[in-house]
A and B are shown apart, each in its own frame.
Chain A
Amino acid sequence: MSEEQVKKDPEKEKMKVKSIKKMKEIMTAYYIDAKTATQNGKKVGWITSGGPVEPLIAMDVIPVYPENHGAMIGASKMGVDLCEKAEDMGYCRDLCSYARSDIAASPVNGGPIGGLPAPDFLVCCNNICGTVLKWYEVQARYYKVPLFIFDTPFCHTEFSSEARQYVRSQIDEYIHFLEGVCGKKFDMDKMKEVGRLSLQGQRLWQDVLDTAMNKPAPMSAFDAFFHLALIVTLRGTQTAVDYYTMLLAEMKDRAAQKIGAVPNERYRLLWDNLPIWFKTKWLSDKFASYGACLVADTYTSAWCGALDYLDENDFLGSMVEGYTRIYLNIGVDEMLKIIKKMIKKYDVDGFVMHSNRSCKPYSLGQYDIMKTLQREMGLPSLMIEADMVDERAWSESQIETRIDAFMEIIKQKKG
Chain B
Amino acid sequence: MNTIRQFHDVINDSNGYARRIKKDSGKKILGYFCSYTPEEIIHAAGVHPLRLFGTRSAIAHADAHLQAYSCSLVRGVLEEALAGRLEFLDGAVFPHTCDSIQRLSDIWRLNLKFSFHSDVVLPVKLDTPSARKYMADVLRKFRRELEMGLGQSITDAQLSKSIKTFNTIKRALGKIYMLRSANPGMISGADVYALVKGAMIMDRADAAERLTAVATELENAKAVKGDSKKRIVVSGGLCDHADIYSIIEKSGGAVVWDDLCTGSRYFEGLVSEDGDPIEALADRFTERVVCPAKHSSVSARGDNIVRIAKEHRASGVIFLLLKFCDPHSFDYPYMKEMLDREGVPSMLMEIEQDLPSEGQLSTRFEAFIEMLR
Residues of A at the B interface (CB closer than 8 Å) are 89-92, 94-96, 99, 126, 129-131, 133-135, 137-138, 140-141, 147, 149, 151, 153-157, 160, 162-163, 165-166, 169-170, 173, 331-333, 355, 357, 360-361, 363-368, 385
Identify A364's interface contact among B64, B103, B293, B299, CB under 8 A: B103
Minimum CB–CB distance for B331 against chain A, Å: 7
Complex-state Cα separation, A13 to B65, whole angstroms: 45
Known A-B contacts A141-B298, A156-B106, A166-B131; A95 and B100 likewise in contact (beta carbons under 8 Å)? no
Known A-B contacts A89-B333, A91-B333, A95-B326; A333 and B106 likewise in contact (beta carbons under 8 Å)? yes
Complex-state Cα separation, A131 to B328, whole angstroms: 11
Q: Does B85 lie at the interface of the complex (its beta carbon under 8 Å from any beta carbon of A)?
A: no
The answer to whether B119 and A154 touch across the interface, beta carbons within 8 angstroms, is: yes
Chain A CB count within 10 A is highest, among B298, B331, B336, B350, for: B298
Cβ contacts under 8 Å, B70 to chain A: 360, 364
Complex-state Cα separation, A92 to B319, whole angstroms: 13
Q: Does B221 lie at the interface of the complex (its beta carbon under 8 Å from any beta carbon of A)?
A: no
Q: Does B167 lie at the interface of the complex (its beta carbon under 8 Å from any beta carbon of A)?
A: no
18 contacts between A and B (CB under 8 A): A90-B336, A91-B333, A92-B321, A99-B330, A130-B97, A131-B99, A134-B292, A137-B330, A149-B125, A149-B295, A156-B102, A160-B141, A165-B137, A169-B130, A170-B130, A173-B130, A364-B99, A364-B103
Closest residue of chain A to B301 (Cβ to Cβ) is A137
Q: Does B161 lie at the interface of the complex (its beta carbon under 8 Å from any beta carbon of A)?
A: no
Chain B residues bordering chain A, tally (CB within 8 A): 52
Minimum CB–CB distance for A163 against chain B, Å: 7
Cβ contacts under 8 Å, B104 to chain A: 364
The answer to whether B110 and A162 touch across the interface, beta carbons within 8 angstroms, is: no
Cβ contacts under 8 Å, A366 to chain B: 67
Cβ contacts under 8 Å, A149 to chain B: 124-125, 295
Interface string of B268-312 (1 = CB under 8 A from A): 000000000000000000000000110100110000000000000
Cβ contacts under 8 Å, B326 to chain A: 94-96, 130-131, 134, 360
Known A-B contacts A131-B326, A166-B130; A156 and B125 likewise in contact (beta carbons under 8 Å)? no
Complex-state Cα separation, A89 to B337, whole angstroms: 10
Residues of B at the A interface (CB closer than 8 Å) are 64-67, 69-70, 96-100, 102-107, 109-111, 119, 121, 123-125, 128, 130-131, 133-134, 137-138, 141, 292-293, 295, 298-299, 321, 323-324, 326-327, 329-334, 336, 348, 350
Known A-B contacts A133-B124, A134-B330, A141-B334; A153 and B100 likewise in contact (beta carbons under 8 Å)? no
Closest residue of chain B to A129 (Cβ to Cβ) is B99
Identify A156's interface contact among B111, B121, B123, B138, CB under 8 A: B121
Known A-B contacts A134-B331, A166-B137, A355-B67; A147 and B298 likewise in contact (beta carbons under 8 Å)? yes
The answer to whether B103 and A360 touch across the interface, beta carbons within 8 angstroms, is: yes
Chain B CB count within 10 A is highest, among A99, A141, A166, A169, for: A166
Cβ contacts under 8 Å, A367 to chain B: 64-67
Cβ contacts under 8 Å, A355 to chain B: 67
Complex-state Cα separation, A75 to B295, whole angstroms: 32
Complex-state Cα separation, A96 to B331, whole angstroms: 14
Cβ contacts under 8 Å, A151 to chain B: 123-125, 131
Known A-B contacts A166-B130, A333-B106, A361-B103; A90 and B332 likewise in contact (beta carbons under 8 Å)? yes
Minimum CB–CB distance for B347 against chain A, Å: 12
- Across the A-B interface, the 9 shortest Cβ-Cβ residue pairs: A90-B333, A134-B330, A364-B103, A166-B134, A162-B137, A332-B106, A92-B329, A169-B130, A360-B99
Complex-state Cα separation, A147 to B104, whole angstroms: 29
Complex-state Cα separation, A221 to B167, whole angstroms: 55
Minimum CB–CB distance for B28 against chain A, Å: 22
Cβ contacts under 8 Å, B123 to chain A: 151, 153, 166
